[in-house]
Each structure stands twice: as C-alpha cells, then as structure tokens.
Amino acid sequence: MRKTDSMIIVSTILIQVLFIAIINIQISIMSDFKNLREFLPLANLSILLLSGLAIVSIKRIEQQAIIQAESKLLKEHLWQVEELMSSLKTQTHEHIRHIQTIQSMLYLNEVDEAQKYLEGIAESNWP
C-alpha cells in the first residue's frame, strides 16, 4: 500500500471524528436550537459523505492486503519452481554424465566394467 493511501484513509477518519466532535460541542453550548435545525441536514449529509469515504478507504485497504498476500504467495511459488528447475537440471547433468561414461566404456569394449558401473549406479539410487 502506498503511503498516500494510508494518509488519505487516516485523514478521512480524523476529519469525520473532528466534525462529529464539533457538532457535539455546538449542541452542548447552543441555547437557540433554531440554528441547529438549519445546520443539521448539512451536518448529516457531511457525516454521511465522510462515512462513505471511510468505507471506501477501508475496502481499499482490504484489496491492497489481498494483493500483497497474493504477491507473497506468487513469489514463494516462483522460488519453489526455480529450486525445482535447478534440481532437475542437476539430475539431467548427472544422467548425461553416466550415459557418456557407459557409452565410453562400451566403445572401449569394457563391458564388465560398464556392468559394474551400472550396478553401482543402481545400488546408490535404489530406495
């Protein structure tokens, strides 16, 4: 979430609280309620608008939190895929090396040594 978003949200809520506090102070010190009756529709509309803005701001916070959580999960998944690719690349390299070794032994007609080499590979990789 950007810093400006946080400031807008906090400012909205603080302005609403300040506005309600001013209205409460005016009500407590007023002796003539005629002026208050004229002012109340505007005050109610202002509070309603500020409440709507606060709700929109809170929804935006929720959306930003969801986006951040998804981003974190995607980064973790990407890291896991990269680790898997690295592991597969290492295994592929080992398999190619074993095949080349066996191929060289057979080319040199060292069949018994190739058979022992294969048995060694099988024993070391057997679960």
Annotate 72-106 with DSSP letters as a single string: HHHHHHHHHHHHHHHHHHHHHHHHHHHHHHHHHHH
What is the structure's pLDDT at 4? Answer: 74
Q: How far is CA 94 from the centre of its chain?
A: 37
What is the structure's pLDDT at 73? Answer: 97
List, for the chain, all residue ranges whose pLDDT scores fall below the cut of 70: 1-2, 127
Quick one: tokens of 8? 């807008």
What is the structure's pLDDT at 127? Answer: 64
What is the structure's pLDDT at 75? Answer: 98
**Closest C-alpha among 86, 12, 106 to residue 51:** 12
Q: What's the full length of the chain, in residues?
A: 127
**In contact, 51 and 16? CB cutoff 8 Å:** yes
pTM: 0.58
Question: How many domains would you assign to the chain?
Answer: 1
CB contact set of 46 (below 8 Å; sequence gap of 6+): 19
What is the structure's pLDDT at 26? Answer: 78
What is the structure's pLDDT at 32? Answer: 75
**Closest C-alpha among 29, 25, 23, 24 to residue 43:** 23
Instruction: Quote the domain boundaries for residue 21.
Output: 3-125
Stretch (H or E) spanning 67: helix 33-107
